[in-house]
Amino acid sequence: MAPKDKAEFSAADRPSAALRSGLPSSAESTKRPTLKTIAEIANLGVTTVSRALKDGPEIGEDTKKRVRRIASDLGYRPDRAGVRLRTGKTNVISLVLNPHEEVMGYGTSMIFGISQALRDTAYHLVVTPHFLGGDPMEPIRYIIETGSADGIILSRTRPQDERIRYLLEMGFPFVCHGRSELATPHPYHDFDNYGFAFEAAKRLCVKGRRRLCIIAPPSGVTYHNHMIMGFERAAHQFGATMVPAPGIDTDSAPDTIRAAIRHMMGQTAAPDGFICSGDVSALALTAGLRDAGMTPGDDVDLVAKQTSTVLDHTTPAIDTIYEDLTATGQTLAQILVGCINEEPMENLQTIREPELRFRTGSQQEAAP
């Protein structure tokens, strides 16, 4: 028989891309890829492959990248049931998310940041919802009693938070977005809300405002206390009068905030400067000011905590202080993995500094 011309070779005669790369073709194997499959292709031991996929510090970065690339090409996924039987671990991190209205995009930004931090680890994220007004212990007990996660991320912490106390007693890994006043140290990553309120009040005083009002978080959460302390210190230091908010906080509905501000600005000795601890309350407040015939930046000034891009597009522009929630999510995930790995407590407590984004002019130089 005459030899085939190159153009006459059929697809069956040619080696597959999978064979050329060292990976098994679908015809060769329809079995679910395992650690052993990866080990054979990488010419490594199964234990080395396992540690590489778990980001083990004893494995070199080049080896980790090669193992992950092969695992990705194979479509490898750990058998969670098998992992749990062998190790007692779920490789799950649970974010107990309170979908409160105030923090625009809070959940999306936080989830994105956590997912980024967990991308090259064995862990993946599951969101456990908890709603305002419900029992805050319910989702925590569920996770513990069902063994459905290896660690928990909490938010909206309270000074004597029963969730934190319970998790400490159970010896269960967790991290908080926020601090408590409990005597026992615990992992946390927090925003400097004291610094936020101090800098916001100082900014208003620099702009010549002397009657200041803060729309703060609800009084039960720890960061309310931090924010009020920073506000009070700045007011005393720069000679401003503190005007109470009329029964509203950042958990109040936007329509309630808007109506309260409209009414407040019609009273004698109304504020000439506002601090808002969230994007939504800032939008509701500016709407209430306009309802009252006030022009932000002219009749009254505002400084808001910013956690999304929406306040970048207000007219007129307002001064903001930024909290990066994506970076916060990354840090929380890193701390929790460290907690699971039993790192020392001093590595598991961090505070994020405020980022000043002042867009408007001031009437005077900064106070000393």
Q: Which domains does the chain have, with CATH numbers?
A: 17-77 (1.10.260.40), 89-191+325-352 (3.40.50.2300), 193-323 (3.40.50.2300)
**Sequence-separated (6 or more) residues with CB below 8 Å from residue 140:** 96, 152, 163, 166, 167
* Cα 123 from Cα 93, distance rounded (Å): 7
- Is residue 81 scored above 70 in pLDDT? no
Chain centroid, CA 120 distance in Å: 18
- Is residue 17 scored above 50 in pLDDT? no
- Is residue 269 scored above 60 in pLDDT? yes
Which tokens in the block code for residue 295?
A: 């022009």
**Sequence-separated (6 or more) residues with CB below 8 Å from residue 311:** 279, 282, 283, 304, 318, 320
Q: pLDDT tens digit string along 23-46?
A: 554 444 457 788 888 899 999 998
pLDDT classification of 88: cutoffs 50, 70, 90: low
Strand segments, DSSP code E, in the chain are 92-97, 124-129, 151-155, 174-177, 188-191, 211-215, 241-242, 273-276, 301-306, 319-322, 349-352, 355-357
- Looking at the chain, the whole-number percentage of residues with pLDDT higher than 90 is 63
Q: What is the pLDDT of residue 16?
A: 42
**Sequence-separated (6 or more) residues with CB below 8 Å from residue 38:** 44, 49, 67, 70, 71, 74, 76
* Cα 263 from Cα 288, distance rounded (Å): 8
In this prediction, residues 122-139 reach a mean pLDDT of 87
- Is residue 101 scored above 90 in pLDDT? no
pLDDT classification of 83: cutoffs 50, 70, 90: low
Short-list 107, 127, 121, 134, CA closest to 52: 121
pLDDT classification of 98: cutoffs 50, 70, 90: confident
Q: What is the pLDDT of residue 108?
A: 87
Strands 241-242 and 188-191: unpaired
In the chain, the largest separation of any two C-alpha atoms, in whole Å, equals: 106
Strands 124-129 and 92-97: parallel
Give this prediction's pTM: 0.77
Short-list 175, 200, 227, CA closest to 301: 200
* Cα 335 from Cα 118, distance rounded (Å): 11
In this prediction, residues 130-159 reach a mean pLDDT of 91
- Is residue 365 scored above 70 in pLDDT? no
Sheet with 188-191, side-by-side order of all strands: 124-129, 92-97, 151-155, 174-177, 188-191, 349-352
